[in-house]
Amino acid sequence: MASRSYSVRKAAQVLGVSVPTAKRMIDAEQLGAFETPGGHLRVLADSLERVQQGRGLRPAPQVSSVLQNRRERVEELGLEAQELRATREIRKLRQEDAGERQQKQEERQQRAREAEQEAQRLELEQQQLEIEEREREQQARAQSALSHFRQRWLAHADKLLGPFTYIWLTAPQRKEVAEGLEAEIAKHGPDDEQRMQRIIEDALASLIAPLEAQRQIARRREQAVQHTMLSLSFRATVSERARAEALAREVLKQMPLDATPDELLLKAQDAVASIAHTVEDREARQKREANKREFIGNAFLAVSIYRRELEAEGNISRQESSDEEMWNSIKDDVRHQLSQKLTGDESPEEVEGLIHDMVDDAFQLESPDDDQD
């Protein structure tokens, strides 16, 4: 590449021709030129000098049709006509050059406008990208702040609902309350920071309140069941106690939620009344049987004591008192009669009177009551 070069416009000025003519000379290789990386033509300085000096000119490989026609007209016409035509042609060429320059100028302006529009479009796109990037950054910051906000207050809620608070909550209830607090926290953001503690406390109170009410209802009913079971005799069988508890719980399920403890207790006791009566009747029967067995078992001793009393009072002789065979028979007879007559409801005094009467009958003695009669 030559050390010096000119733009096409500058080369045209040096030669005294138009820019299009200079370009045609380049196309015809009358001028040496090269294209820059930016797409612009540069005329070699030494080639321009040779053209100025009239040396080294290469004939054009072919003459343009316009020039050829002009030459033919010049030859056909006379000198004056040739000059006139030449003048007109020159004017036309100049007009064409001017039109071409104008067209190219307009093209350059159009390209400049398009380039400017493209630059504006790219700038707008860049601005839009920057705006979107800022919005994404803002959203990311906002999301991060929201995430930290919720994590912090969820931790606070977990602390309020710790394992040592509200220990009466069941596992499902504790989960229900935790989910309720989480849902409440999800409704708020960093703008509510100053109010969050009160919001969480209020939410916790509203979530706990119905559960506490249920707990109190269940506690009252459980107390009614336990008091009812305590009132049932301890001699009730395992089966009877199980049936009684099931009846009490079932009937309490039908009671209004606002039923008082006394109402619940009465209802539960009514439900197990039949079982309680069965147990009481069995206890009374067993008690009577036990009393009867005890009275009969003590009959020998009672007869022996009365035997000494009769001897001491002189109602029987010493010989009668010492007849063991007779007294054994009397004792057996007394036990037999007691087993037939006693119900178990008698008092010890009544039984003692019966035994004395039986012994008196054996010796045909009159009781003090008979003497009074």
Last residue of a domain, one of 98, 130, 150: 150
Query: How far apart, in whole angstroms, are the C-alpha atoms of residue 157 and residue 183?
Result: 11
* Same domain, yes or no: 321 and 353: yes
Q: Is the pLDDT of residue 294 over 90?
A: yes
Pick from 20-24, 85-89, 239-243: least confident = 85-89
Q: What is the pLDDT of residues 302-347, one digit of tens each?
A: 999 999 999 999 898 999 889 999 999 999 999 999 999 999 899 9
In a domain, 262, yes or no: yes
Task: Tell me what pLDDT residue 179 has.
Answer: 93
* Same domain, yes or no: 28 and 80: no
In a domain, 192, yes or no: no
Q: Output the CA–CA distances (angstroms, integers) from residue 305 to 129, 206, 318, in the order listed.
A: 123, 79, 15
* Same domain, yes or no: 340 and 309: yes
* Same domain, yes or no: 232 and 305: no
* Same domain, yes or no: 70 and 139: yes
* Same domain, yes or no: 311 and 237: no
Average pLDDT, the chain: 85
In a domain, 231, yes or no: yes
Last residue of a domain, one of 47, 62, 77: 62
* Residue 35, domain CATH: 1.10.1660.10
Query: How far apart, in whole angstroms, are the C-alpha atoms of residue 293 and residue 295?
Result: 5
In a domain, 176, yes or no: no
User: CB of 178 within 8 A of CB of 133?
Assistant: no
Task: Tell me what pLDDT residue 59 has.
Answer: 42
* SS3 (DSSP) at 284: helix
Query: How far apart, in whole angstroms, are the C-alpha atoms of residue 204 and residue 194?
Result: 17
In a domain, 127, yes or no: yes
User: CB of 48 within 8 A of CB of 6?
Assistant: yes
Task: Tell me what pLDDT residue 247 has.
Answer: 94
List Cβ neighbours of 224 (8 Å cut-off, separation of 6 or more): 248, 252, 261, 264, 265, 267, 268
- Reading across the β-sheet that carries 33-35, which strands appear in turn? 5-7, 41-44, 33-35
Structural domain count of the chain: 4
Cβ neighbourhood burial of 236 (10 Å; 0-12, 13-18, 19+):
buried
Distance spanning both ends of the chain, measured CA to CA: 172
* Same domain, yes or no: 81 and 146: yes
In a domain, 205, yes or no: no
Q: What is the pLDDT of residues 27-78, one digit of tens each?
A: 988 888 888 888 888 999 888 888 888 744 444 344 445 554 454 444 445 4
In a domain, 338, yes or no: yes
Domain span at residue 316? 298-372
* Same domain, yes or no: 87 and 110: yes
In a domain, 289, yes or no: no
